[in-house]
Structure 1
Amino acid sequence: MSASTSNPTSAKVHTLPVAGAQATNSLLRNPGTKLDLGWLEEVRNVNRSALEKRAATLVKRRSIKGENQAAWLLRALSLMDLTTLNSNDTDERVRRLCAKAINPLRRDLVEKLKLADMQIRPAAVCVYHPFLSVASNTLEGSGVHIAAVSTAFPHGLAPLSTRLDEIRASVGAGADEIDVVIRRGLVLGAHWQELYEEVSQFREACGDAHLKVILGTGDLASLRNVMIASMVAMMAGADFIKTSTGKESVNATLPVGLVMCRAIRNYEERTGFKIGFKPAGGISTAKAALEWLILIKEELGRRWLEPDLFRFGASSLLNDIERQLEHHVTGHYSASYRHAIV
C-alpha cells in the first residue's frame, strides 16, 4: 500500500511508503551548540499574517483519498506517542494502554487491510514516572519506546535540582525518551541564557535517553517567542521540540507548527543536524493528523515522516484513525466504543 497527496493545480504526486518502512539514512544526534544571541536576532522577525495564510492554504491544496488515505493514516499511527497523563491514571489503565500499543488495530481490520506480515505500532507510550515500571514490563520486547514526562510537568516550576533528579530517576526506571517542560517565564522575560543552561542540564541528565523539549506554546504570547524558544532549545541539545503539554488553553496549532518547522529547518541549514518535531494537545481526529503530515512533508520533507523525527502526542487520535480505517474497508463508521483504548 502507498500513500499520495495531489495538488489540484499540478500533476505532481507525492508518494509515501506505508508505515513499517524504515528511513534509509541514519540520524546523527544533535550535540547542541553554544548560545548565539546574534543568531536569535536574525530569526526573531516572524510574520504572523503570512504564516497563518500559509498554514490555512497548505492543507486546502492537498487531497488524500481512498487507499492513499489509508496508508497515510497507518503512517500517522506509527508516529504516535500514545499518551495518558491524567490525575486518575492507574497501573491497570497504563497496562491497557500498553496492550493497545502492542495491538493497535482490531484483528479483523488487520486481516482486511492485509497487514498481517507488517508490524505497525505507535512509536512510544508516554506516561508519568510512577507508571514506568508497569509500562516497561508490559512493553518488553515490543519495540515500542517508553517516554516519561518530567521536570515538574506540566508547569516546570519545581527547583532545578528536583527537576534534574526527576529526569535521572525516570531514565533509571526504564524511560528511553524524556519529555521535559521549560519554565515559560524564562521566555516571557527573554532570559535566554538561563533557558539555555537549564535545557543543557536536562540534556546532560538524560544521558542516552532522547530529550523532547515542550515549549508550552499556548503560554508564550507570540510566534516570535515560539521561534526564539525553539532555537534556544535546539542550541542546548534538544533531540525534539514539542508544542504543548496538552494542559494549556491553546495547544498545537498549524501556524505554531509552521514556525517550529522553520526553526528546525534553519537549525539544520546552519549546523547540519536534524531535529525532531512533536505537536501535542488537541490532535484527536484523523483529518487533523493528515493536515499535520501534509505540513511536515511540505515544510521539512519526506525524511521527517519517520518516528525518529516526528511524533504526535495523542490519546484519542488512535480511536478515530481506527474508525476511519474501518470505514475504508467496510464503507461504514462504527461506534467509538468499538475502538476503545483504555
Structure 2
Amino acid sequence: MSNKTGFICDESYFWHDTGNGALFLRSGGWVESDVHSENPATKRRVKNLLERTGFIQQLITISPRMATREEIEYNHGPAYIDQVKKLSDQMGGDAGAAAIVGTGSYEIALLSAGGALTGLDDVMKGQVDNVYVLSRPPGHHAEKDLGMGFCLFNNVAIAAHYARKKYGLKRILIIDWDVHHGNGIESAFLNDPEVCYISLHQEFSFPPDRGQAEVIGEGEGKGYNINIPLPAGTGNAGYLHALNHVAVPIAEQFQPELILIAAGQDPSAFDPLARMMVTAEGFRKMTALVKQMAEQLCQGRLVVCHEGGYSAAYVPVCTMRVIEELSGQKSQMVEDPFQLGIEALPTEVLLAHQEEAVKRVQQIHADYWKFD
C-alpha cells in the first residue's frame, strides 16, 4: 500500500559551513586539514540519489519555512539563541563542544527547525501521511543553553513542544535511533509525562556521560525516558529486537497521538563515528516497524527528521530505504550496491550480550511498563 509521503529539503541546508576538519575536530595542531564529518555531502547525496533514481517524483516535495524566534524559545534560552546569532553574524565560532556555527548558520538553523515544523503541520492537517525531513544542521544533542555534537537548535524537541502548543497533543512518542545518545531531547522532557522518549544508541559513545539505562526520568516523568544502550557491533537483529521488545510494548501502552523519529543513519556498518553494523535493509525494517506502529496507534502520524550519519557513500543508500518504506514504494535501486562489503558481517545475528542489554532495560522499567 502506497502512502502520500512528504519530502522536505532546501539548498540552504547544504550551505551550513563546518569548515575544514577531521572526523569531529577542527583542523589545526596535530590534526591535518581534511573534510569535517558533518559536511554537506552526506545529506546532499541523499537528495542526489532520490533525483538520480527518479524516486523523488513519487514524493510530495515541500518547501520548509523558517522557525520563528518564539518557536525556538520553546526549547532554548534567549541568551543562547542570541549567542548563536552573534557568532553567525560575526564570521562563526563554537556554540558548544563540536557545535560549529558558520557565517549565516543562524538563519539556516532556523530553517532546519522550521523543516520539522513544516512537516509536522502537513502530517497533522492530512496533506501527507508521513514525511521525511532532510534537514541540516542536526539537533538532538542541543541542550537548552548549549550547542553540542554538531547540533545548534534541537529540531525534534522544538517540534514536540510545537505539537503540544498548536495541536493540543498530550502524548508524543519520540524514537531516536541515531547511534549517539540524544541528550538534548532527554534533557528537554526528563520531567514530562506527555513526551515518551526512547533512545537506541551505542553504549559508552557520545556524549560519554549520557544515555545510561538507569536514567528513567524524574518527577512526573519517571518511566517516560527509556535509554537502550546497545553494545558495539550490534546489527539489524539487535536493533529490531530492541524495538520489538521495548519500544513496541511501551508504545502500545502509551498510545501516542504522534510519533517523531530522530533518524540518524550513523548506526550503519560503514559509519566513521560509530561501531555498529546496521545495513540499509536494517533501516528499512526499522522504518517498517515504526510506520506500522504509527498506523495502528496514531492514524499514521509520523514525522522523520534526519540527524547524524557520516558515511557519504552509505548514508544515501540507507536513507533511500527509509523513504521507500515510508512511501510504500520501491525505487530503481533494487540491490544495496554495498552488499559485497556487508554480506559476511553477522548483522542478522542476535548475540547473547545484545539480548541481555535489552533485557536489562526491561528490568529497569518493569515498574512502569509491562513487557512480554
TM-score above 0.5: no
Higher helix share: 1
Q: TM-score when scaled to structure 1?
A: 0.40
- Given the two structures, how large is their TM-score scaled by the length of structure 2? 0.37
